[in-house]
């Protein structure tokens, strides 16, 4: 198989911690008269200011901000979207930059902020992401006048994340990745189609149980409730019925993202300065591993995750058994299994059984995607990774209420994925 070039990470010049997080509801804004017409400045500004409030700071305390959006030109009609939101949260005139890595944007948003502080250039940096994945502008009217971004138009726009030299023309890369993880896993560990189907269905059920307890999640009903509404006493029977059809070779509708609108943000500062701003413990960013693998390459997610994860474990010295909670960007729900095994959070070749046994739900002993992930929390593409960082921080502080995991997590692993494709493996730890 094609060799992948490897990178050795070096320690940050100074330790950096997250001191504030903010997140909007993930929603289809046009479906509710109270939210229809929300704009980029309002959503980003809300998440950004919530993060500042959480950190106990005001906009004047923030030195610089990063802005992430996956598809700013098509969905917002902006090329420099950081400028268009820059006066909506009290930071007029401060420096900023926009970045865009599709569905990995929110994870790399943390990377940008941490690097900016670790370098010594800034002390307090805000990093936020916004996406209108369901309500887009047409560019000829004010930004509150929006229209639905339907599934077929969205699918058509997805081609822009793929290489237009060979990959689109060879027609396979954009279409195999939905199933590559599942096919790779089945072949490697000898699972049948039915075993993989059962695993992915349980994954969806587990994730949904956490999402319905998160007021920010787009999903409001468990699959058990939905099954009953449709006349099924047995949720598995419902999940295997035509109500939950096979959409790809391995993924049912319950295993695909719920695209939506949303924003999220965080504030970082040097760990040694945390107490100057907040009484809460900082959440230290121990390290972030990165890899990219273009979609024409085989096993993009698997090989990219392996490399990013190798880097971050090598840098931090953290052992897989020290990970208390895991997040995986799962717009294809299979990612929960792939990321958790490569991170060593679940045992290799055995992880699928943990999903079937419900052990990965928020109240299990191996919690994964406690907010519901992309298939239940929702997928506001750029903002999703930052929403996972929000959730990880809230869990690590013990502030998640009904969906709080049983054992207070000290160390979290987050696996970013997206953009055909970027991979990021992040380790967070509650600062002492």
Partner 1 sequence: MGVKLERVVKTYYDNLEAGKITGRKCLECGAVEWPPVLVCNTCGCADMEWIEMSGKGKLLQFVMPATITKKDEMKDIKPYVFGVVEVEEGPAVNAMVRGINKKNREEILAKLPVDVHMTIIPRDGYSTVIFDLDEE
Between residue 2 and residue 21, which ones bind partner 1 under the rule CB under 8 A? 2-3, 5
Q: In what helix (H) or strand (E) does residue 18 lie, and over which residues does it extend? A: strand 16-23
Number of residues that bind partner 1 (CB under 8 A): 32
Between residue 102 and residue 121, which ones bind partner 1 under the rule CB under 8 A? none
Q: Are 305 and 9 in contact (CB under 8 A)?
A: no
As a whole number of angstroms, the distance between CA 328 and CA 348 comes to 16
320 contributes a contact to partner 1 by CB under 8 A: no
Span near partner 1 by CB under 8 A; candidates 1-9, 27-35, 371-379, 409-417: 1-9
Q: Which is nearer to partner 1, 184 or 243 (CB)?
A: 184
Q: Which of 34, 51, 58 is nearest to 106 (CA)?
A: 51
- Reported in sequence order, the residue ranges of 179-321 that DSSP labels E, i.e. its strands, are 261-270, 283-292
Q: Which of 171, 192, 242, 279 binds partner 1 (CB under 8 A)?
A: 171
245 contributes a contact to partner 1 by CB under 8 A: yes
Q: Which of 95, 215, 298, 401 binds partner 1 (CB under 8 A)?
A: 298
160 contributes a contact to partner 1 by CB under 8 A: no
CB of 243 to partner 1, least distance (A): 14
- 256 pairs with which residues across the strands? 332
Q: Which of 37, 59, 184, 363 binds partner 1 (CB under 8 A)?
A: 184
Q: How far is CA 273 from CA 18, 276, 378, 431, in A?
A: 11, 5, 34, 12
Q: Which of 295, 368, 383, 431 binds partner 1 (CB under 8 A)?
A: 295
Q: Which of 150, 177, 149, 148 is nearest to 161 (CA)?
A: 177
197 contributes a contact to partner 1 by CB under 8 A: no
Span near partner 1 by CB under 8 A; candidates 81-89, 112-120, 182-190, 346-354: 182-190
As a whole number of angstroms, the distance between CA 415 and CA 427 comes to 9
Q: Which of 63, 179, 276, 314 binds partner 1 (CB under 8 A)?
A: 179
Q: Which of 59, 249, 320, 358 binds partner 1 (CB under 8 A)?
A: 249
194 contributes a contact to partner 1 by CB under 8 A: no
- How many other C-beta atoms can be found within 10 angstroms of the C-beta atom of residue 287? 23
Span near partner 1 by CB under 8 A; candidates 83-91, 164-172, 370-378, 421-429: 164-172
Q: What is residue 190's three-state secondary structure?
A: coil
Q: Which of 15, 206, 250, 370 binds partner 1 (CB under 8 A)?
A: 250
CB of 342 to partner 1, least distance (A): 18
Between residue 270 and residue 289, which ones bind partner 1 under the rule CB under 8 A? none
169 contributes a contact to partner 1 by CB under 8 A: yes
* Dihedral in degrees, nearest 10, Cα atoms 104, 105, 109, 111: 40
Span near partner 1 by CB under 8 A; candidates 22-30, 197-205, 211-219, 290-298: 290-298
| DSSP structural state of residue 246 | B
x/- map, 383-412, partner 1, by CB under 8 A = ------------------------------
Query: Strand 64-68 vs strand 125-132: parallel, antiparallel, or unpaired?
Result: parallel
35 contributes a contact to partner 1 by CB under 8 A: no
Span near partner 1 by CB under 8 A; candidates 218-226, 232-240, 297-305, 340-348: 297-305
Q: In what order do the strands lie in the sheet with 261-270?
A: 95-99, 64-68, 125-132, 261-270, 16-23, 283-292, 422-430, 411-418, 325-328
Q: Are 104 and 421 in contact (CB under 8 A)?
A: yes
- DSSP track, 128-155: EEEEESSEEE-SSS-TT-EEE--HHHHH
Per CB under 8 A, residues contacting partner 1 are: 1-3, 5, 155, 165-166, 169-173, 175-176, 178-180, 183-184, 187, 245-250, 256, 295-299
């Amino acid at each position: 198989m094609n060799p992948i070039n490897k990178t050795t990470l070096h320690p940050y010049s100074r330790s950096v911690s997250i001191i504030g997080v903010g997140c909007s509801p993930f929603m289809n804004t046009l479906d509710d008269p109270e939210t229809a017409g929300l704009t980029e400045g309002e959503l980003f500004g809300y998440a950004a200011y919530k993060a500042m409030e959480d950190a106990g700071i005001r906009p004047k305390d923030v030195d610089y901000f990063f802005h992430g959006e996956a598809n700013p030109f098509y969905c917002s009609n902006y090329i420099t979207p950081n400028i268009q939101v820059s006066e909506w949260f009290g930071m007029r005139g401060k420096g900023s930059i926009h970045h865009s890595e599709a569905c990995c944007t929110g994870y790399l948003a943390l990377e940008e902020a941490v690097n900016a502080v670790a370098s010594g250039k800034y002390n307090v940096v805000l990093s936020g992401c916004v996406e209108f994945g369901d309500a887009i502008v047409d560019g000829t009217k004010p930004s509150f006048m929006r229209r639905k971004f339907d599934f077929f138009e969205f699918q058509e726009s997805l081609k822009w994340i793929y290489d237009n030299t060979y990959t689109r023309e060879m027609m396979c890369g954009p279409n195999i990745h939905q199933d590559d993880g599942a096919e790779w896993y089945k072949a490697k560990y000898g699972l049948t189609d039915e075993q993989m189907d059962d695993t992915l269905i349980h994954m969806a059920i587990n994730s949904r149980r956490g999402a319905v307890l998160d007021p920010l999640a787009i999903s409001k009903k468990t699959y058990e409730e939905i099954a009953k509404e449709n006349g099924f006493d047995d949720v598995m029977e419902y999940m295997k019925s035509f109500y939950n059809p096979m959409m790809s070779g391995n993924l049912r509708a319950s295993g695909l993202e719920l695209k939506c609108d949303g924003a999220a943000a965080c504030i970082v500062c040097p760990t040694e300065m945390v107490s100057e701003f907040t009484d809460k413990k900082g959440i230290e960013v121990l390290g972030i591993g990165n890899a990219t693998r273009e979609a024409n390459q085989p096993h993009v997610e698997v090989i990219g995750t392996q490399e990013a994860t190798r880097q971050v474990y090598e840098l931090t010295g953290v052992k897989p058994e020290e990970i208390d909670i895991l997040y995986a960007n799962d717009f294809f729900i299979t990612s929960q299994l792939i990321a958790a095994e490569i991170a060593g959070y679940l045992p290799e070749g055995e992880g699928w059984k943990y999903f079937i046994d419900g052990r990965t739900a928020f109240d299990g002993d191996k919690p994964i995607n406690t907010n519901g992930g992309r298939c239940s929390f929702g997928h506001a593409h750029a903002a999703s990774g930052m929403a996972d960082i929000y959730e990880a921080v809230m869990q690590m502080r013990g502030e998640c209420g009904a969906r709080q995991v049983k054992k207070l997590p000290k160390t979290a692993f987050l696996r970013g994925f997206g953009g055909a494709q970027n991979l990021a493996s992040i380790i967070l730890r509650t600062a002492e």
